[in-house]
Amino acid sequence: MRKFLTTTAIAAVMMTMGSVSARAAEGVEVLHWWTSGGEAAALDVLKKDLEGKGISWTDMPVAGGGGTEAMTVLRARVTSGNAPTAVQMLGFDILDWAKEGALGNLDDVAAQEGWDKVIPTALQQFSKYDGHWIAAPVNVHSTNWVWINKAALDAAGGKEPANWDELIALLDKFKEQGITPVAHGGQPWQDATIFDAVVLSLGNDFYKKAFIDLDPATLGSAEMKEAFDRMTKLRSYVDDNFSGRDWNLASAMVIEGKAGVQFMGDWAKGEFIKAGKKPGTDFVCMRFPGTQGSVTFNSDQFAMFKVADDKVPAQLKMASAIESPVFQSAFNVVKGSAPARTDVPDTDFDDCGKKAIKDLAEANTNGSLMGSMAHGHANPASVKNAIYDVVTRQFNGELSSEEAVAELAAAVEAAK
């Protein structure tokens, strides 16, 4: 099915290139994968902001929560010499395109607006290449969140789990209630999102050595076997129909009380908010047990591709609009993420949003803000995809924990 969708998406792009090219000169053409309800609502904030500045918006959505389909379509566009104005992109994917010389230069607007002073260094690692600004960060998502149905939690005693044992006890109580304990979508990036949190729960140093340093001894360690054992345990709390389920449908299970928890990044909050749910009343947001005080992050950024000279002014206005503190607040309130600037007040954010901003600031200060492996901010795509393969096979019972540890170390070494 994935191959069919990719082929279909590419065919659609190729058929519409002529009309898209004509329209793009009048404003910006934006390729993205924000297609769920909460994501689309957040993106609309940017569309309206630009339209208010006289910049037309040509939308090019490509469904697929991890962005894999979007990157396939992008490759076809760039290869044909018809790059979009701006593309939603994550982490090392941005740097890969920069190395190919495909991205434009945002230095002028960045200097005028002082981006260097207000955008965290951890984000600038992906927003800049060879000293030049190439992308405008929209937000900071953190990935080690747990989303809990409040009514189900109250029925289970109301206590948020502080460690692994308490988490398992809570999941058992959800099972006793007759609901699915863990809402999950069986897609590699979702499996890896859980694995990210599980590995982080075993210690910051362990996470850093495994996923950022790619240390062979750590990848093949007894602690890594424990991480896979925990994945096996969590797999026992997932329903039989999880395979291929999109992440927002898993969120809906928690929203509707059909499931107890979802382990997902804070974009999930946008689904709860769009459904009219309130933090603390209808749902609970907390860090994955054992990761309190630490944050694994990804950052949605709009990479700006090299375009014809007459399109550059609109491109620079879009970059400026993205970094506006007013927009950063308005967008991230809807999206569920934290602003990409450190000077945006938390006034308009709900309790989960305030917690996200506070946790991010603390992690940035104490050195526990780390790029997410699952979301392309810890290592290049080749390594990430190699880890995906092992994690998904193990989660689906194709590998034992011992086999997974051995294959993980070998796969990462081969992908370096």
pLDDT in tens, 76-114: 999 999 999 999 998 998 999 999 999 999 999 999 999
Token pair in block for residue 278? 């309130």
User: What value does the mean pLDDT of the chain take?
Assistant: 91
Give the number of C-alpha atoms closer than 13 A to the C-alpha of residue 309, restricted to the C-beta side. 0
Q: What band does 63 get if pLDDT is binned at 50, 70 and 90?
A: confident
For 58, the 3-state DSSP assignment is strand
Supply the CATH number for residue 103's domain: 3.40.190.10
Whether the predicted pLDDT of 8 surpasses 70? no
HSE-CB of 106 using CA atoms within 13 angstroms:
33
In a shared domain, residues 328 and 404: no
Query: Mind giving me the DSSP string for 6-36?
Result: HHHHHHHHHHHHHHHHHHHTTEEEEEE---S
Q: How far apart are CA 75 and CA 96, in angstroms?
A: 12
User: What is the model's pLDDT at position 120?
Assistant: 86
Q: Do 253 and 396 lie in a common domain?
A: yes
Whether residues 281 and 305 fall in one domain: no
Number of domains in the chain: 2
How many Å from the N-terminal Cα to the C-terminal Cα in the chain?
A: 29
Q: Are residues 136 and 78 located together in one domain of the fold?
A: yes
Q: Which of 296, 118, 106 is nearest to 212 (CA)?
A: 296
Instruction: Please check whether residues 128 and 154 belong to one and the same domain.
Output: no
Residues 133 and 236 reside in one and the same domain = no
In this structure, the answer to whether residues 104 and 191 fall within a common structural domain is no
Query: How many CB atoms sit inside 10 A of residue 75's CB?
Result: 12
Alpha helix (H) ranges present in 301-342? 312-323, 325-335
Residue ranges making up the domain that contains 66: 2-142+298-366
Question: Using 50, 70 and 90 to split pLDDT, how confident is the model at 42?
Answer: confident
pTM: 0.83
Tell me the C-alpha distance between 136 and 305, whole Å: 12
How do residues 111-124 score in pLDDT, each as one tens digit? 999 999 999 888 99
Contact of 26 with 56, CB cutoff 8 Å: yes
Separation CA 113–CA 133 (nearest Å): 12
Strand partners, 287: 145
Q: Are 170 and 260 in contact (CB under 8 A)?
A: yes
User: What tokens does 98 get?
Assistant: 């920069």
Question: Could you tell me if 347 and 381 lie in one domain?
Answer: no
Task: Retrieve residue 51's tokens.
Answer: 């339209």
Write down the residue that tokens 């965290």 correspond to.
120
Percent of residues, the chain, with pLDDT higher than 90: 81
pLDDT digits (tens, 9 = 90+) for 290-333: 999 999 999 999 999 999 999 999 999 999 999 999 999 999 98
- 26: which 2 tokens? 């009048």
Cβ-based neighbour number of residue 240 at 10 Å: 6
> Looking at 331, 351, 366, which one is the last position of a domain?
366
d(C-alpha 279, C-alpha 351), whole Å = 7
* Same structural domain, 269 and 409: yes
Mean pLDDT of 65-75: 84
Q: Do 181 and 87 share a structural domain?
A: no
Say yes or no: 194 and 281 in one domain: yes
Contact 338, 354 (CB under 8 A): no
Indicate whether 56 pLDDT > 70. Answer: yes
Examine the pLDDT at 279 and tell me if it is beyond 60.
yes
Distance of CA 390 to the CA centre of its chain: 20
The Cα–Cα gap between 260 and 318 comes to 40
Shared domain for 29 and 93, answered yes or no, is yes
Q: What is the pLDDT, as a whole number, of residue 270?
A: 86
